[in-house]
A and B are shown apart, each in its own frame.
Chain A
Amino acid sequence: GAVVSQHPSRVICKSGTSVKIECRSLDFQATTMFWYRQFPKQSLMLMATSNEGSKATYEQGVEKDKFLINHASLTLSTLTVTSAHPEDSSFYICSARASSGNTIYFGEGSWLTVV
């Protein structure tokens, strides 16, 4: 089946620094990728929609200057958390929709801890 890979799976960074998380579709092309964050025992919250070759669309309440999203190719989207704060510590998950069909495949998630 389709595979979506996230890297890194875990990252610890210091407050004020920036950290980048990659999301790759390994065996299919994804014109659209999505970024979610999930706090413990809570649901996934959609942050933004990443479209290849164009600007990301952010959900209401999500700071676009803080969470930079780039979708440079049909198989790669990146999320950069800028000026990280301990409150940004969370589980970040990406998903990708194949160019055909409605099925969305998720990555394994990335744990971010800001100290």
Chain B
Amino acid sequence: SQKIEQNSEALNIQEGKTATLTCNYTNYSPAYLQWYRQDPGRGPVFLLLIRENEKEKRKERLKVTFDTTLKQSLFHITASQPADSATYLCALDKGGYNKLIFGAGTRLAVHP
């Protein structure tokens, strides 16, 4: 079955630096991959979707890459701010049925 691996250790960075989070998956390559932000006690908030035929996608300070050969997606936040501190979840569709399965998430802490 498909497994999604995200670094379970918290990522601590200094304000203004670029945060890079990793998402690796096993088994088949999904048609698309999504990134979400989750704050404590809240539901996930959609950030970006990248399709299998797209290498990179950007949205403001966010950038996502998708390497189907490595079976990996990287999520970058440039010029990070303390407000970016949250848990970031990687998700992909389960078997093409539009059912999302999630990684465990990586907690990002941006320090002033």
Pair B43/A93 contact, Cβ less than 8 Å: yes
Asked whether any CB of chain A lies closer than 8 Å to the CB of B108, the reply is: no
Knowing A102-B32, A102-B49, A103-B49 are in contact, say whether A46-B99 is a contact too (CB < 8 A): yes
CB distance from A87 to the nearest CB of B (A): 20
Chain A nearest CB: distance from B100 CB in Å? 6
Stretch at the interface among A11-19, A67-75, A77-85, A107-115: A107-115
Q: Which residues of A contact B49 (CB under 8 A)?
A: 102-103
Interface size class of A (residues with CB under 8 A): 20 to 34
Q: How far is the CB of B1 from chain A (nearest CB, A)?
A: 10
**In the bound complex, do residue A34 and residue B44 qualify as a contact, i.e. CB atoms below 8 Å apart?**
no
Contact residue among B41, B45, B99, B104 (Cβ-Cβ distance under 8 Å from A34): B99
Q: Is A95 an interface residue (CB 8 A)?
A: yes
B98 to chain A, nearest CB (A): 6
Q: What are the residues of chain B within 8 A of A43 when measuring CB–CB?
A: 89, 102-105
Min CB–CB distance A49 → chain B (angstroms): 6
- The 29 sampled A-B contact pairs (Cβ below 8 Å) are A4-B43, A6-B43, A42-B104, A43-B89, A43-B102, A43-B104, A43-B105, A44-B44, A44-B89, A44-B102, A46-B94, A46-B100, A46-B101, A49-B97, A91-B41, A93-B43, A95-B100, A97-B98, A102-B32, A102-B93, A104-B46, A104-B100, A106-B36, A106-B43, A106-B45, A107-B43, A108-B43, A109-B41, A109-B43
